[in-house]
Amino acid sequence: MSEPVARIRRALGTWDVVVLLALVAVAVIGALTIDGVASPRFWRFVVLEAIPIALIALPMTLIVITGEIDLSVASVLGLTCSVMGQLWVSGVTSLPLLIALALLLGAVLGAVNGLFVTGFGLPSLAVTIGTLALYRGLAYVVLGDRAVANYPTTWTTTAIQPLPGTTIPWMILVVAALAVVFAVVLHAMPIGRGLYAMGNNAEAARFAGVNVRLTKFWLFVASGAMSALAGVFWTLRFASARADNGSGLELAVVAAVLLGGVSIFGGRGALLGVLAAVALLGVLRNALQLAYVPANTLTVITGSLLIASVVGPNVAAMLRERLRRRRTTTVSPSS
């Protein structure tokens, strides 16, 4: 078998391609069986729903590859929304200043997570479960049960303004640009190889010259900042700042990252599969809503996909390893 053909076969056998094919299949089947799925309006709502999940999933992918996790992301989003609303009520009327302060707040919240994980050596799962509750509680302290909804219409309409000649919001360009940045860091820079090394063996990565603690710290900072950016978009999209904004969003983010082929144990995964999984979950959820599937059933489906995302790549890897061993055993006697 020629080398190009072998490379194509290896590429087609990756989990990323499986997720992409699943996305295409769900989109086609949905368009043929559910009224409205083929309409531009449907895809507009899919993109609007996917934008905050994709923004948070980008740094989350890198964090999970290192063997850590950040479950506080939705609470960071909610606290950002609350602070943004309170600042607006207090007289801060400059949108660039509000965005800058929101990103700074998110970075600080992420730094707190990073300090506990890397500075004190605490498990990221326990730390971020704690800050999940802490940050959400602070969001209610800042804003209470109020909803700040008197933002200028120029802000709210601009946030979801479609690209010329399409129904797709322009914010997708920001997501695409950030995805390229994260992809270059992960797949084309030495630090990316260091992230995979950390996920496979943090001690070996340290001996190889990777600053494990500092790298993980900045990943949590990036996660906080990106969650804050998602919070800004959330506030402007719905024209409402509330303390409960984004509640439960961490489940969708983790499901997308794991369904995209990132190993929960670290050391394996790629951004392409994660972004495809974000789109797959968005299409599936919106299509089922058009089919009048109850919300509880959608939650069950999301949970099932989360379990499948953990089991599927591991089963696929096991099957590939068995096929490789079989081929090796078949070739060895003749050689």
Reported as a single tens digit per residue, the pLDDT across 107-130 is 999 999 999 999 999 999 999 999
Q: Confidence class of residue 313 from pLDDT cuts 50, 70 and 90?
A: low
Per-residue pLDDT, averaged over 273-292, amounts to 94
Q: What angle do CA 165, 170, 174 make, to 5 degrees?
A: 145
Mean pLDDT of the chain: 91
Cα dist. 254→63, 106, 257, 273 in Å? 11, 19, 5, 13
Q: What is the pLDDT of residue 332?
A: 57
The pLDDT tens digits for 79-106 are: 999 999 999 999 999 999 999 999 999 9
Q: Confidence class of residue 8 from pLDDT cuts 50, 70 and 90?
A: very low
The yes-or-no verdict on residue 303 having pLDDT over 70 is yes
Q: Confidence class of residue 157 from pLDDT cuts 50, 70 and 90?
A: very high
- HSE-CB at 241 with a 13 A cutoff on CA atoms is 24
Tabulate helix, strand, coil % of the chain (nearest 5): 75, 0, 20
> With 0-12 CB in 10 A as exposed, 13-18 as middle and 19+ as buried, what is 195?
buried
Q: What percent of the chain has pLDDT over 90?
A: 78
The pLDDT tens digits for 12-36 are: 557 888 899 999 999 999 999 999 9
Q: Check if the beta carbon of residue 199 is closer than 8 Å to that of residue 67.
A: yes
What is the C-alpha separation between 230 and 126, in angstroms, rounded?
A: 23
Here the tokens at position 289 are 């809503």
